[in-house]
């Protein structure tokens, strides 16, 4: 695959830099590059700064992209996104419906895995941010829709529906209609009260389970191996259920 003008490329060396390829100088503490040189080259090519430091130009991966997007409050963290993927068995054949889009961070992760994502957002200013983020990341298999899933979901035969909403209980019956039999509903709930409310409207779902994913970061080595002092104590409860 060739690098094109406008491609998002990660320059990997003593440090990593995420750049958009265009005709311009790019300055780092290790010297300058002429980014235009990359156009037409293969991914993986080496490029040196004027100070002789070598970097490789590779296709940016999702965590690189996510580090650069414009973030709105309450982004879904990698620990939770990953478990959404593994609990639903997310794969490249899947069609996913998501609401709300937010800043699009989860959308970008899902889009890397699945065939197609439809993502609803009712707040126009959020959708605008998400749109910018998706473009910046070169994501093309997502359709952003402005709308409130509490009032209905037009899509059918979704493999997975992910809800991250203030009142998901109102959207769950619509989510059920949008799902294939055997498809997974995932609800992301920051507070316990929301979890108890949604469990009351789980008519027509089986295998319901609610989990919390807690990540502990470790400092390792130098005879000082220990969990890190500061820790993210909570993001959300994840509830999984299967349409019957």
Q: Which residues contact 85 (CB under 8 A, 6 or more apart)?
A: 109, 110, 113
- Figure out which of the listed residues 3, 35, 84, 172 binds a copy of itself, where binding follows CB under 8 A: 84
Q: What CA–CA distance (Å, rounded) separates 187 from 55? A: 42
CB of 124 to a copy of itself, least distance (A): 26
Site string for a copy of itself, 220-239 (x = CB under 8 A): xx-xxxxxxxxxxxxx-x-x
CB of 128 to a copy of itself, least distance (A): 24
Cβ proximity to a copy of itself: between 39 and 213 the closer is 213
Q: What CA–CA distance (Å, rounded) separates 186 from 80? A: 11
Q: Which residues between 4 and 23 bind a copy of itself (CB under 8 A)?
A: 10, 12-16
Strands 158-163 and 95-99: what pairing? parallel
- Figure out which of the listed residues 61, 70, 143, 154 binds a copy of itself, where binding follows CB under 8 A: 61
Whether the Cβ atoms of residue 44 and residue 59 lie closer than 8 Å to each other: no
Structure tokens that stand for 22 in this block: 């265009």
Q: Which residues contact 60 (CB under 8 A, 6 or more apart)?
A: 8, 9, 10, 18, 137
Rounded to the nearest 10 degrees, how much is the dihedral formed by the CA atoms of 9, 98, 161, 89? 10
- Figure out which of the listed residues 21, 35, 90, 185 binds a copy of itself, where binding follows CB under 8 A: 90
Contact status: 175 vs a copy of itself (CB under 8 A): no
Rounded to the nearest angstrom, the gap between the alpha carbon of residue 19 and the centroid of all alpha carbons in its chain is 19
Q: Residue 11, class by beta-carbon neighbours within 10 Å (0-12 exposed, 13-18 middle, 19+ buried)? A: buried
Q: Which residues between 188 and 217 bind a copy of itself (CB under 8 A)?
A: 190-193, 195-196, 199-200, 206-207, 209-217
Rounded to the nearest angstrom, the gap between the alpha carbon of residue 103 and the centroid of all alpha carbons in its chain is 9
In total, the chain counts a number of residues equal to 244
Stretches 21-29, 110-118, 128-136, 146-154: which one binds a copy of itself (CB under 8 A)?
110-118
Q: Which residues between 36 and 55 bind a copy of itself (CB under 8 A)?
A: 44
3-state DSSP call for residue 46? strand
Q: Which residues between 125 and 164 bind a copy of itself (CB under 8 A)?
A: 157, 159
Stretches 30-38, 117-125, 147-155, 177-185: which one binds a copy of itself (CB under 8 A)?
177-185
Contact status: 174 vs a copy of itself (CB under 8 A): no
Count the site residues for a copy of itself by CB under 8 A: 81
CB of 148 to a copy of itself, least distance (A): 21
| C-alpha to C-alpha distances, 111 to 134, 204, 221, 237, nearest whole angstrom | 10, 27, 37, 22
Stretches 22-30, 64-72, 96-104, 119-127: which one binds a copy of itself (CB under 8 A)?
64-72
Stretches 32-40, 84-92, 117-125, 144-152: which one binds a copy of itself (CB under 8 A)?
84-92
């Amino acid at each position: 695959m060739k690098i094109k003008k406008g491609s998002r490329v990660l320059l990997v060396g003593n440090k990593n830099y995420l750049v958009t390829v265009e005709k311009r100088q790019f300055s780092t503490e290790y010297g300058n590059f002429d980014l235009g040189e990359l156009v037409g080259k293969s991914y993986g090519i080496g490029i040196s700064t004027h100070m002789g430091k070598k970097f490789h130009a590779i296709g940016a991966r999702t965590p690189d992209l996510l580090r650069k997007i414009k973030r709105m409050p309450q982004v879904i963290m990698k620990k939770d996104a990953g478990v959404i993927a593994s609990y639903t068995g997310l794969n490249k054949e899947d069609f996913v419906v998501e609401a709300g889009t937010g800043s699009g961070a989860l959308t970008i992760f899902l889009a890397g895995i699945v065939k197609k994502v439809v993502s609803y957002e009712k707040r126009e200013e959020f959708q605008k941010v998400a749109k910018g983020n998706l473009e910046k990341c070169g994501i093309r298999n997502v359709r952003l829709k402005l709308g409130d899933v509490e009032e209905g979901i037009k899509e059918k035969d979704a493999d997975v529906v992910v809800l991250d909403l203030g009142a998901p209980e109102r959207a769950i019956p619509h989510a059920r209609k949008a799902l294939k039999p055997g498809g997974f509903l995932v609800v992301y709930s920051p507070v316990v009260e929301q979890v108890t409310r949604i469990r009351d409207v789980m008519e027509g779902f089986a295998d319901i389970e609610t989990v919390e994913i807690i990540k502990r970061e470790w400092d390792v080595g130098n005879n000082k191996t220990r969990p890190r002092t500061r820790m993210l104590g909570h993001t959300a409860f994840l509830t999984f259920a299967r349409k019957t």
